[in-house]
Amino acid sequence: MTTPEELASYCDRLLDSAGCPDYPSALNGLQLSSGKPIKAVAAAVDFSSRTIEGAVKSGANLLLVHHGMFWGGVERLVDVAYRRLRLLVEHEMSVYSSHLPLDRHPTLGNNVLLAKELGLEPSGTFARHGEISIGVSGAAEVETETLKARAQKFARSCGGEIRATAITRGRQTKRWAICSGAGASAETLQEAAQMGVDTLIVGEGPHWTAVSAEERGLAIIYTGHYATETLGVRALGRHLGEKFSLPWSFIEAPTGL
């Protein structure tokens, strides 16, 4: 039987968690351990009451998430926070979280898998974060509206809808870049400009990024924060199921973003 610590140690090595800088609240790795052998794995994008309840219903006692227990920062263990913790303890649930290490993984990562969903072949990196890159980039010869339609199909399969800047219409994509989640920022727009990218595909971004992108001649397809980050946890859950001969499931909990 596999313990939470054994599975976490394997994931930390697989994802190179120690070599990937991240935000302080990410706390990548095993965030809660019951010490009990793992019966089944439930994968989800976010740590929330919905995903904990979904894990319990699925019969899992390890919850694998992209946004972990402390993503919103330190909070008092009262009200909702207390009820979440009590539910975890009552069901002897362990929690493992991986944020940027899972975004950037070369085969299980959100970005490389999003490229595959959209029919794109990465040939380079994108979205610098310190000494590493989170996203992917490449060349293509495809109508931007075709990419937009593929992104819409994918987003709707995850319970969402895309948004796109107006200049996607009547354009040809020749150089693209992808950064899942909150991927449109001052830094990524500047990097895209320096790389000669004409189409940027992200999860979400502030309104001003659409204005700035249009002035730069850059098309942005906002595919949804939640949708673009379902891919990595699904892939990691499947991989762990095969590696450790464990049943696994994905807990759907769309946020609308």
**What tens digit of pLDDT does each residue of 213-237 get?**
999 999 999 999 999 999 999 999 9
Could you tell me the two tokens for 210? 């659409």
pLDDT at site 166: 82
Q: Specify the fold of 4-100+230-249.
A: 3.40.1390
Domain with CATH 3.40.1390.30 in the chain: 4-100+230-249, 103-228
- Confidence (pLDDT) at 165: 92
Q: Which residue has the tokens 């998430």?
A: 65
Q: Measure Cα distances from 143 to 29, 80, 198, 240 in Å.
A: 40, 47, 12, 37
DSSP 8-class letter at 182: S
Which of 11, 228, 210, 46 shows the shortest CA–CA distance to 136? 228
Whether the CB-CB separation of 177 and 202 falls below 8 Å is answered with no
**Beta strand extents in the chain (DSSP E only):** 29-32, 41-46, 62-67, 94-97, 124-129, 132-143, 163-164, 172-179, 199-202, 219-222, 248-250
Could you say which residues of the chain have pLDDT below 70?
A: none
As a whole number of angstroms, the distance between CA 59 and CA 61 comes to 7
pLDDT at 83: 97
Torsion of CA 221, 69, 136, 124, to 10 degrees: 160
What's the pLDDT score for residue 213? 94
Architecture of domain 103-228: 3-Layer(aba) Sandwich (3.40)
- Burial label for 193, CB within 10 Å (0-12, 13-18, 19+), is middle
